[in-house]
Amino acid sequence: MNHVNDKENQNNEVEEMDTQEVETVETPNDAGGGDGGGENRQINGEAQEQNISQDAEMEEGISGLLSIDVMREVAWYSVVTYLILNIADEARSEATFRYTVQNFSKLKESQLSPSCYVRNLPWKIMVMPRTSQTADRQTQRSLGFFLQCNGESESSSWSCYATAELRLLSSKEDTEPFSRKIQHLFYSKENDWGFSHFMSWQEVLESDKQYVKDDSITLEVHVVADAPHGVSWDSKKHTGYVGLKNQGATCYMNSLLQTLYFTNQLRKAVYKMPTESDDSSKSVALALQRVFHELQFSDKPVGTKKLTKSFGWETLDSFMQHDVQEFLRVLLDKLESKMKGTCVEGTVPKLFEGKMVSFIKCKNIDYTSTRVETFYDIQLNIKGKKNIDESFHDYITTEMLDGDNKYDAGEHGLQDAEKGVIFASFPPVLHLHLMRFQYDPITDCSVKFNDRFEFYEKISLETYLQNPEPTRADYTLHAVLVHSGDNHGGHYVVFINPKGDGKWCKFDDDVVSRCTKQEAIDHNYGGHDDDMNMTVKHCTNAYMLVYIRDSEIKNVLQEVTEEDIPQELVERLQEEKRMEQIRRKERNEAHLYMSVQVLLEDSFDGHQGNDLYDPDRALYRIFRVRKQTTLQELLEMLADSLKYPIEQIRPWPFSYRSNQTCRPTLIDIEADLHKTVIDVAENQNPWNVFVEVVPPDSGLQALPSFDKDSDVLLFFKLYDPKTKRIHYCGHHYMPVAAKVQELIPLLNERAGFPPDTELVLYEEIKPNMVERIENYNEPLEKVLEELMDGDIIVFQKDERDVMYDLPTCRDYFKDLFHHVEVTFCDKMIPNDPGFTIDLSQRMTYDQMARAVAQRVGTDPYLLQFFKCQNYKDSPGHPLRCTFEGTLKELLVYCKPKTPKKIFYQQLNIRINELENKKQFKCLWVGPKLKEEKELILYPNKNGTVADLLEEARKQVELSENGSGKLRIEEIPRDELNLAEDEMLVPVAHFYKDIFSTFGIPFVLKVKSGEPFSKVKERLMKKLGIQEKEFEKFKFALVVMGRAQFITDESDYHINLMDFRCNPNQVSASPKPWLGLEHINKAPKRSRFNYLEKAIKIYN
């Protein structure tokens, strides 16, 4: 709270204050018993009687008309009145209420009044004694007076903006109360606002205005509040409309969408756009139909995430505040193109398109040039303009073209002329953008003008038309889009007159509330604090206005009924909503469910890696089951889904072993049949299971029995060294005591080999570890390492005499261990998805280059490669073609657990030649120093500047009569050969600080002793600048980092010594140069700035 010690505070004084946390004594808010008295409470040892009265504006508040004496006598009546009024309209926007403090002279603790409800929130008067030290260190006692909002709420998300007048009433008739005003955004951490020193205690007691009577004072508050955020405010109930949710910084979009929604003719056309075959996630038209439909029929605020997603925006775009005008143009353009070829084609131009005529009319001859242009909005200059009429007059004011700025009238030569625009027609819906944001060349950024600018509910634009139209150009204000903040950001709200009848509503994102015409119009003129009242914030003002032509109001605002919405669209949106409810229910109940991911044996076919399948590429059959489902119920579900009797299926859950493999394991079905699935899965979610089924052609009625103590489940793979491929050969139950030799006939049969084919058997233990089985006469339990269910035996023909690249499966798996999938992305294409190749990490640079060149279709030596930057998905330093490492060394910089990436670019010269050259980026400028062209030159590393210039000559177009020689600009002929008294002087532009240079520097030939006026003439001609503009230039000799301004230009003559380096200077010191000091009117080169990012709707 603000500690105000000024005794001479005037009524209606406006102060900014801080909050004060206080220990409060709550006063009961209920009426007493039949004796008519309220409950008494002991405060500071004295009985306190507390009364309250209230006068709600625009209602018949009885207690507000009573004197304080009468109120004391009928306290019960005022409390009852207070309660009745509260119940009657707790959602009202403003109210006046009072609180009487008894035994005022003994007040020691803070007191709170009963609640008065405004905007459905409880408001209370808080009063307390305060002490502070004066300037002369004397203790001063004051009356603390605060307004508290929603003080008992535990929520931290609510907020409510309000203005209020705090008054100390006098018991003397016809005496004005002492009052002070506040404005504040109330929220959980600042839920009270007011004055620590509302009035000195002495003044309250001794004043001749009789604030104290019978040791009591009466405090009164008149509060006006906006609809609150973050609490249960029913916009539909209070206004009939709903708002839009803010995604982060989408208030500008929400305001505009509400404006378009209430342009009913457009809404009707949007509904009729055919979207039956559109992709629901990418169709802008369908997303807009969805938002409009929900705004019309929903009872709660509507989300816009699907709409922004249909624009192709990323999440970050929703946290960027864009320009409203730019967004409106892009959206209308998108709608217009989507409507082409449909029954609503032409709706957008029919509603929003006007025409203006640009003309240039010669004064001395009969010649006029005209051009008709269309517009969807008009930008009005507000700087220095009082109102909308002055802005329109300014818009059509003509400009004289005379003097050096004469108009080139072709065969008529240069002529004096006037240039201007005049409106040919205005559209039914007129969008006016008030140019509150303008570029400031001095600060090189956008600046917001908060100047007062008046606009009106009714306007006539007849006087701005070239010729009268069939109907008068009279317009009624339909919407006012308001911006609060500065050029760096802020908040948008919109005031809309939905039916054009003068009944306004305020749309503030998800909150909609009724408001007065004054709030919608007068309070948004803008202006500074001294020319407006407390209800308006300095930086809050209208930014865009929407007017509707009076003759078109009935058509534009025609009622949109359910019959106007195609039935197919309604059904699609209802189905979407139904599916969303199902998904929402699934999300809410997700913790109760788990996924069982089932693989059948055919999923193992074609797998070329370790184990039986690739977890990242497997096509699972997914079953969503409740965690408390029993194993018995799961088996029944699987049997029913797979169309097998339950005795013909057997589950084998996959389990991760300690050696980095994943193999099927046994379930003890008899013991676990009645356990829950989550227990059997040991809390794995998802739970991957191999389901064994009876082979269709086996003729078996049930799966063979499996003895967990004496049998083992084995899987088989065949390796073919000729094709370097693995073939899956099924599974089999084998007794653990069986000899390895017994597998040979089975494996030959599975592989389709003759029964007596000699085989070599290997055990696949883990990645890069495959061991040969040597002794076939030993039992399996002795031969195989730690024999377990799910072990894999890889076999191949015994072909020792045949030579292959990878002759054994051990060689194959060793090679596989070093294989990696690498994605190659073109560095020159932004966000290039690239292509993926399976390569060996042991590859050399040449092998990798050949593999990529073959895929791209080019010469390996015309490719240059770039490693990833450390843990970034962007190219780093180029890779030399002489790189002697392996591919593995290039991939260490990639992010872990992400696809491995290498960037490349295609070259015009061979990579070995390029590496002997140095890349230079140069800027080529034409003779007028205005045209710019970036050159990328590749001179040899040991080349000279002459080589660089020779490279540049090959890429630029020289002027016809030029010298043909360069210095990174073409040298004019008169500068080729200099006399002894001539010199080339460096020239550069700067503003204020010589280190803040801008533009293109150049050299200028000067002659010893020539007047500076002649140098100025050559400068003006070389730069191509108008004389009027050139007069603003100042000139300085810049020597050793200091500017010596040429003050008397008429007397100054060129002295070549001024531009020569001092012999005593250090050799690295810069040469003197001629500085041109003036404002940089050209915007700086574009820099990456999130706030300046152009709006694009990609779909």
Please tell me which residue in 116, 251, 825, 881 is annotated as part of the active site.
251
Is residue 251 annotated as part of the catalytic site, yes or no?
yes
Instruction: Give the whole-angstrom CA distance, residue 1060 versus residue 1058.
Output: 6
Catalytic residue (choose from 293, 491, 523, 989): 491
Q: How far apart are CA 22 and CA 778, in angstroms?
A: 89
Q: Map tokens 């002295």 to a residue.
A: 1055
Number of H helices, E strands in the chain: 26, 52
Query: Residue with structure tokens 């002794």?
Result: 775
Distance of CA 233 to the CA centre of its chain: 27
Which residue reads 């690249």 in tokens? 805
Task: Report the b/e string of 785-822 with b at 16+ CB within 10 A.
Answer: eebbbbbbbbbbbeeeeeeeeeebbbbbbeebeeebeb
Measured CA to CA, the distance from residue 182 to residue 470 in angstroms comes to 52
> How many degrees, rounded to 5, is the angle at CA 1076 between CA 1072 and CA 1081?
140
Asked if 731 is an active-site residue, the reply is: no
User: End-to-end distance of the chain based on CA atoms, in angstroms?
Assistant: 52
Buried b (16+ CB within 10 A) or exposed e, 16-50: ebebbebebeebebebeeeeeebeeeebeeeebeb
Q: Which of 714, 723, 706 is closest to 791 using CA atoms? A: 714
Distance CA 129, CA 198 (A): 10
Exposed/middle/buried for residue 177 (C-beta within 10 Å: 0-12, 13-18, 19+): middle
Strand-strand pairing, 159-168 and 178-187: antiparallel
Q: How far apart are CA 664 and CA 784, in angstroms?
A: 17
Q: At what angle do helices 264-271 and 251-261 cross, to 10 degrees?
A: 90
Alpha helices in 170-283, H assignment, sequence order: 201-206, 235-239, 251-261, 264-271
Determine if residue 72 is left, alpha or beta; phi over 0 gives left, psi from -120 to 50 gives alpha, anything else beta. Answer: alpha
- Six-digit token string for 904: 């490349």
According to the 3-state scheme, what is the secondary structure of 292-328? Answer: HHHHHHCCCCECCHHHHHHCCCCHHHHHCCCCHHHHH
Catalytic residue annotation: 251, 491
